[in-house]
Amino acid sequence: MIFDTAVCLRHPHLPQGREAGEILRAMDRAGVDRAALMPFEAVQRFNWREANGRVAAACKAHPDRLCGWGTLNHYDGPEETDHIAGLGLRGVRIFTSWGFTPGTGLIERFYVPIAEKCRERGMLFSIEHEGHVPTLGGAVYSDCIVADALPDRPVLMSRCWSWGFWPDYLAALQECPNLVLEVGVAPSSWIRRAAGEAGADRMVMGSWWPEQEPAAVIAHVRGLELSKADEEKILGGTAARLFGG
């Protein structure tokens, strides 16, 4: 089973993926069985509840194919996490690269309570970090602080795209054994190293379609000459376990 854990509903800058039907057709073309939708439009319009609601509606209409992330302004904290849980969404993803990044000392205050609420409601917690300099610069402190605070819960590092920071991503995986890495079209050598050092059961596929073609991510992972078991974990097995089948 192929499970893409990062697909954009209503990307703020790209025309594809306005409606669920279009996303399902793209999944079929790429051979993706299941996908986790993201309310990515909210990073531009701050329409958190409206965007989360749209993802929830798409998931309810196609429960066999789609599940969803909710997102929020972290200052709204655990209360908004409850609202996301009420929509039936499977996790909270914070889009830090678009300005929602508290600094040192504030992760404990703002992200950790959200992650604790996610644990209470049986949801996943994820931090996106493209690595905007100087706010983050590929930094991993926020992931690590949350992972240290909730050692019994997975914390999903999303959008790890800047190749120069992959030594940092691997070191973070080593430092915090509950971190999970999202894989897109990253340099082959780094994906191999992550599979060797952290293990494929801590790696999930995330294309961020329409930013990357899921078919390209799948072909890339299959071209790495990993074991079949590792390939299956990265492309779907690990995500199925984390998202609950």
Q: Which residues bind another protein (CB under 8 A)?
A: 103-105, 133-134, 136-142, 144-145, 148, 162-168, 171-172, 174-175
Q: Which is nearer to another protein, 43 or 157 (CB)?
A: 157
Q: Which is nearer to another protein, 69 or 165 (CB)?
A: 165
Q: Which is nearer to another protein, 139 or 217 (CB)?
A: 139
Quick one: which of 102, 95, 135, 88 has its CA closest to 12?
Answer: 95
Residue 197 beta carbon to another protein: minimum distance, rounded to whole angstroms: 11
210 in Cβ contact with 176 (< 8 Å):
no
Quick one: which of 33, 53, 22 has its CA closest to 240?
Answer: 33
Q: Which is nearer to another protein, 121 or 132 (CB)?
A: 132
Walk across the sheet containing 203-205 and list its strands: 3-8, 34-38, 66-70, 91-95, 124-128, 155-158, 179-183, 203-205
Helices and strands of the chain, counted as H and E runs = 11, 8
Residue 186 beta carbon to another protein: minimum distance, rounded to whole angstroms: 13
Residue 87 beta carbon to another protein: minimum distance, rounded to whole angstroms: 32
Residue 158 beta carbon to another protein: minimum distance, rounded to whole angstroms: 17
Residue 223 beta carbon to another protein: minimum distance, rounded to whole angstroms: 23
How many residues are given for the chain?
A: 245
Distance CA 177, CA 25 (A): 36
Q: Which is nearer to another protein, 29 or 109 (CB)?
A: 109
Distance CA 224, CA 117 (A): 38
Q: Which is nearer to another protein, 89 or 172 (CB)?
A: 172
Residue 157 beta carbon to another protein: minimum distance, rounded to whole angstroms: 12
Contacts of 161 (CB under 8 A, 6+ apart): 130, 131, 184, 186
